[in-house]
Chains A and B, each alone.
Chain A
């Protein structure tokens, strides 16, 4: 086991599964890059009886949900009373569907053999900020990651941005479904008009960055270009997207000095240009370096990523490779704190939970347990309070209560170990050369095997990466 192998597994992966550091140590960089040879893994259901639906199928399910909801409302008007059981069942089914998608995502993190690819998936999903904070988009979040992010982590950034901008999750999340071109047929008929939300965030958060060079006029122009990008409510289409010409603002539109023709193709061209803008290269480089290299990455680290992005037209595989080649990429000091989801995932990976021989219900409960504690520690995937996504910096997760909760949970989850397990060997396997002298001593002198595991999980080198 080499130090670089351990860093590959912990800093760029999701924490060590049994024997993973050994596998990575043969050639750490090659081990990481090989994970990007194809698209990322797709999750499979872990909640018994659940299914992971495509965006298009979700549109149909969502429509049925709203029809039933409406029927209940009408029945209430007619009878004067609410069928509480039916209402509860309806909302529970919707909640269960969303939760099952998230459970599958967590479970993939616990077991995947391509942890670096998975980290990239998590990074890019978070980059696009889609969040259950908006209830309308919540059913589509799992599909967003499965359809927008997973197939595209090793392709061009523009492909991912276009996919994001045409996914129901995004179109609901940032209200584009409500945005109508004032001069379109629909706009002329109704009093509804533009919604700037998606147009603004596309530039501020997903591509150029807040200082990336755009004006309020550009926000309006982008919003106009995006009119008509909405949901295929007649479904089932592939991912649920449909372009509605009758809502689309007519006439050529000028964005940041360039004029695009009216229509879906013109809008796609505008999005593609934003994705390839030099400001986008810088914005993405800063975020990528902050997530994978350091909370305050050096200007040189950012520059290298930025140049790579520009030179390759936003090739995300090359971007990842460039990050791995950064002089600081394999520095021994563990400066970044694991986020709650990363910590819970690393814990399950080291303890090999859920066990391969667990019954489906037990596995499902263990996955649910992990989801619950991650949320309590302050993070849940695709649920950030704002479109900015979850913070990438360590101090976001280092509040006293959050840290105490990690340590308490470590003590509880440690009681799951099998009594015959060799905890000293487990620690050696789990941290490899990253284990400090003091942690190694604490483990050897712990008052019980489960306490030893709890100390290992609480140790700075396990909390950090």
Chain B
């Protein structure tokens, strides 16, 4: 069926979706190794305390108030190790955890310590210690280090390759015909911009109301929240391309909608819906990868965490330490890696943020070294300069 959305998406897609910069056969002619690496960037700062609630910490429930998740209630969290849990929306991630294919990180962050999204993402993607000092991405530099061996090429699931893939190594980009629908937070921001514009504000308000009604009409009559499926085409498509024998071995995907300043919700609110979409999309990618899942490692990370305290709008503001995930058939998982410091006021950075005890680059380095065969020298040299302190984990790759 051709819907308006399909048309709109394909129109937007028609342009830069330079499906391939070069013919497929030429692009992947040199058969690379069989391992796959996927980096999923959660732009907007995921609230690690909601994604991975430390419910065993006695200070957690009081400090999180209305956002606290519990083992009981209508939307109970999923227990991981008796101390940490998983957001109820992350059902597939829980099954990977149980299958020992998921490692959860907490108290983690890049070396960036301020609170600007742009700068935080810049640091996460350049691999530098401060923003706007490097102009290419760590994954592109890693490709150069790998490519000398096997002619590896990376896939950007985006109209324009993100900064993490920008650089000298060749990168292809692809997008599905159906582009993801913008996230709710974006619409809320536009609505705020229209506060004083009666014509545009009124029009947007009725359009969104109508959209909500249409969605409700399509929902399960049992009333159970269905996951939004809009990230699936991206993840599924990437999975199929990665699974192809001559396909790319490295891919980067973007998902937005994590900047939950207002009405973040607990077990079934705004953030839970977004997590549910991500969870479903990751599982769609797993299905598309088929047997190749067993040779795949996926890192899901964000630029920084969010405040421990709930703000005045039922949301959280920009923070420091947060959560990250490493998953895939190639992962030796089923555990939480966290240097937990507790939630006492004295522990919190600036009295508000979860402190960062693990450098996110250590996770990247783990996968690049253990899974993609990048040499230690390249990792500490060209790929992540000034990162010797961020030591790779051992035993996280099967």
Interface residues of A (CB under 8 A from B): 337, 353-354, 359, 362, 365-366, 368-370, 372-373, 376, 394-395, 398-405, 407-409, 411-413, 415-420, 423, 438-439, 442, 445-452, 454-455, 458-460, 463
Contact = CB atoms under 8 A, between A and B. Distances in A.
B323 interface: no
A398 B205 CA distance: 12
B133 interface: no
B159 A416 contact: yes
B43 interface: yes
B13 interface: yes
Interface string B45-68: 100000000000000000000000
B207 A403 contact: yes
A137 B333 CA distance: 67
Contacts of A415: 158-160
B268 to A, nearest CB: 22
A411 B43 CA distance: 14
B168 to A, nearest CB: 14
A394 B8 contact: no
23 contacts: A354-B15, A365-B15, A365-B17, A366-B16, A368-B11, A372-B11, A376-B11, A398-B200, A399-B203, A400-B203, A403-B200, A403-B204, A407-B182, A409-B8, A415-B159, A416-B160, A419-B166, A420-B135, A447-B45, A447-B117, A448-B117, A448-B256, A463-B200
A288 to B, nearest CB: 23
A337 B12 contact: no
Given A398-B200, A438-B193, A448-B43, A409 B207 contact: no
A423 B121 CA distance: 14
B186 to A, nearest CB: 6
Nearest to A366: B15
Nearest to B125: A419
Contact of A404 (B7, B9, B211, B256): B211
Interface string B189-204: 1101111110110011
Contacts of B254: 448
A407 B187 contact: yes
Given A369-B13, A373-B8, A450-B256, 5 more contacts: A366-B15, A403-B203, A409-B8, A446-B117, A448-B44
B15 A408 contact: no
Contacts of A463: 200
B160 A419 contact: yes
Contacts of B158: 415
Contacts of B208: 404
Contacts of A369: 11-15
Given A415-B159, A416-B160, A408 B199 contact: no
B125 A408 contact: no
B364 interface: no
Given A403-B203, A447-B43, A420 B193 contact: no
Contacts, number: 147
Interface in B255-313: 256-259
4 shortest interchain CB distances as A-B pairs: A447-B44, A372-B11, A366-B15, A400-B207
Interface of B: 4, 7-18, 43-45, 117-118, 121, 125, 135, 158-163, 166, 179, 181-182, 185-187, 189-190, 192-197, 199-200, 203-204, 206-208, 210-211, 254, 256-259
Contact of A458 (B10, B121, B190): B190
A460 B200 CA distance: 8
B11 A455 contact: no
Contact of B179 (A362, A403, A412, A417): A412
Nearest to A452: B118
Given A365-B15, A372-B7, A416-B160, A442 B192 contact: yes
Nearest to A417: B160
A401 B186 CA distance: 17
A412 B9 contact: yes
Nearest to A335: B199
B30 to A, nearest CB: 24
Contacts of A365: 14-17
A59 to B, nearest CB: 32
B307 to A, nearest CB: 15
Nearest to B165: A419
B117 A419 contact: no
B163 A366 contact: no
Given A398-B200, A448-B117, A458-B193, A413 B12 contact: yes
Contacts of A442: 189, 192-193
Given A369-B13, A416-B160, A398 B187 contact: no
A453 B257 CA distance: 15
A426 to B, nearest CB: 12
Contacts of A353: 15
A267 to B, nearest CB: 44
B186 A398 contact: no
A459 B12 CA distance: 19
A197 B189 CA distance: 50
Contact of B190 (A359, A399, A407, A409): A407
B207 A401 contact: yes
A460 B256 contact: no
Nearest to B208: A404
A384 B166 CA distance: 44
Nearest to A412: B12
A416 B18 CA distance: 11
A446 B189 contact: yes
A461 B11 CA distance: 25
Nearest to A448: B43
Contacts of B11: 368-369, 372-373, 376, 409
Nearest to A459: B193
Contact of A420 (B163, B186, B189, B200): B163
B193 A368 contact: no
- Residue from A359, A401, A417, A439 having most chain B Cβ neighbours under 10 A: A401
A413 B166 CA distance: 19
Given A407-B182, A460-B197, A419 B163 contact: yes
Contact of B8 (A376, A452, A454): A376
A366 B160 CA distance: 13
Contacts of A411: 182, 186
B160 A418 contact: yes
A408 B193 contact: no
Of residues A415, A423, A445, which shows the largest number of chain B Cβ atoms within 10 Å of its Cβ?
A: A415
B112 to A, nearest CB: 15
A460 B12 contact: no
Contacts of B166: 419-420
A439 B8 contact: no
B190 A400 contact: no
